[in-house]
Amino acid sequence: MKNSLETRCIHGDTHKYQEGSRAISIPIYQTASFSHVELGHNTSGFDYTRESNPTRQHLEETVSSLEGAADTTAFSSGMAAITAFFELFHPGDQIICSEDLYGGTVRLLHNVEEKNGLTISFVDTTNPDKVEAAITPETRAIYIETPSNPMMNVTDIRACAELAHRHGALLAVDNTFLSPYWQNPIALGADFVLHSGTKFLAGHNDTIAGFLSSADPQWGAKVRLIAKTVGNTLAPFDSWLVLRGIKTLSVRMERQQENAEALAEWLLKNPHVSHVYYIGLKDHPGFAVNSAQSRGAGSMISFSVDSKETALKLLKNVKVITFAESLGGTESLLTYPVLQTHPDVPKEVREHLGITETLLRLSVGLEGVEDLIADLEQALEGE
């Protein structure tokens, strides 16, 4: 029987102490290359760090264990992992994507993938009928974020997996916002899971990383070939940082969610706040679907305020919360999606989605929740 997720965050699938020293923390194998005993005889199983490295391998095995994947490749950023996913396809292939995606992913699709000959169809994937209507004989994959960045839209993973497979396509889920602690897309039928490891997995706003996990080892091998060829794998030290972050994933996720629930309730009552997008709120349109496919609502909240001036005042005045891009770490971060994470999304699309000058995104961290509430209060009251 498998150990609990909490235990696997700390030990992975195999409780490994290092041979020889029996070090508890996996060493950082800071080496570019590995020696060979003789031609054709490689004792360690490693050749060259671009391709594989023991520290990175331990991390990859840990993420595979947490996501229930057959294989995982660790990349130098979330964007590198997403790029590797799209490299699996060929000119003329059509990929159906959620219309609300991280702005960097949209930039990749418009500036690189369309140039590479892929047809990208942006669809409201919260409605499976719309996904089905977009399927063509060229459809090779459905690519979703659930919940999405920044509008917190929830897509039914099981329904999309069923649709994709019925039409001979694959389903990929960017699971960054919930992390494997709250949601495991492969168990729901997805073929690939992606992460910006920079966020909840690393968890400390101190490194950049990405993961692409595959349900099928054959796809995993194709991903590895791309990573080795393109050369965008994660460095040993960063691999170690993410491994260290993952050890506390379960306690961080629980406490961050508790803080987020309290903040969402507080925001709902504030007269300057016009809408709260938090999937833990019962009246969120995706509440039922999210509850059926995940174990929690996480700690990402987007909210709209009454004017652009109020939004700018908040960004200027917060003291405990930091006005910065990114999410998922111990520090609470307040982000202005329209200018920071989504400026490359065409204006009319942003407006259609609700990414306006009054929208803010809050990644709730581990500070005392009373301090976070007091901080928002003083920021709203200030000049």
Ligand X SMILES: Cc1ncc(COP(=O)(O)O)c(C=O)c1O
Length of the chain: 383
**Per rule CB under 6 A, is residue 98 in the interface with ligand X?**
no
Residue 190, classed as helix, strand or coil, is coil
What kind and span of H or E run contains 179?
helix 179-182
Total residues binding ligand X (CB under 6 A): 13
Choosing from 74, 79, 88, 160, the residue that interacts with ligand X (CB under 6 A) is 79
Choosing from 68, 104, 128, 354, the residue that interacts with ligand X (CB under 6 A) is 104
Cβ atoms of residues 382 and 318 within 8 Å: no
Q: Write the burial class of residue 172 (CB in 10 Å: 0-12 exposed, 13-18 middle, 19+ buried).
A: buried
Catalytic residue, chosen from 93, 156, 174, 191, is 174
Is residue 199 flagged as an active site residue? Answer: yes
Shortest CB 143 distance to ligand X, Å: 11
Shortest CB 104 distance to ligand X, Å: 5
**Per rule CB under 6 A, is residue 208 in the interface with ligand X?**
yes
d(CA 164, CA 168): 6
Backbone angles phi, psi at 303, to 5 degrees: -150, 150
**Per rule CB under 6 A, is residue 87 in the interface with ligand X?**
no
Catalytic residue, chosen from 16, 50, 228, 295, is 50
Residue 130, classed as helix, strand or coil, is helix
Choosing from 64, 77, 184, 233, the residue that interacts with ligand X (CB under 6 A) is 77
Interface stretch with ligand X, choices 75-83, 123-131, 157-165, 184-192 (CB under 6 A): 75-83
Shortest CB 149 distance to ligand X, Å: 4
Is residue 130 flagged as an active site residue? Answer: no
What spatial distance separates the first Cα and last Cα of the chain, rounded to whole Å?
58
Residue closest to ligand X (Cβ) = 78
Is residue 13 flagged as an active site residue? Answer: no
Site string for ligand X, 128-167 (x = CB under 6 A): -----------------x---x------------------
Backbone angles phi, psi at 177, to 5 degrees: -70, -30
d(CA 382, CA 360): 18
Cβ atoms of residues 142 and 172 within 8 Å: yes
> In sequence order, what are the residues at sequence separation of 6 or more whose Cβ sits closer than 8 angstroms to the Cβ of residue 93?
117, 118, 119, 138, 139, 140, 141
Is residue 278 flagged as an active site residue? Answer: no
Cβ closest to ligand X, residue 77 vs residue 239: 77
**Per rule CB under 6 A, is residue 174 in the interface with ligand X?**
yes
**Per rule CB under 6 A, is residue 102 in the interface with ligand X?**
yes
Pick from 226, 198, 197, 242: nearest CA to 51: 226
Interface stretch with ligand X, choices 33-41, 74-82, 342-350, 375-383 (CB under 6 A): 74-82
Shortest CB 344 distance to ligand X, Å: 13
Catalytic residue, chosen from 56, 199, 313, 350, is 199
Cβ closest to ligand X, residue 69 vs residue 327: 327
Name the β-bridge partners of 214: 71, 192
Token readout for 267 is: 């925001």
Pick from 25, 77, 76, 89: nearest CA to 54: 25
- Any idea which residues carry the catalytic annotation? 50, 102, 174, 199
- Residues of this chain that interact with ligand X (CB under 6 A) are 77-79, 102, 104, 145, 149, 174, 176, 196, 198, 208, 210
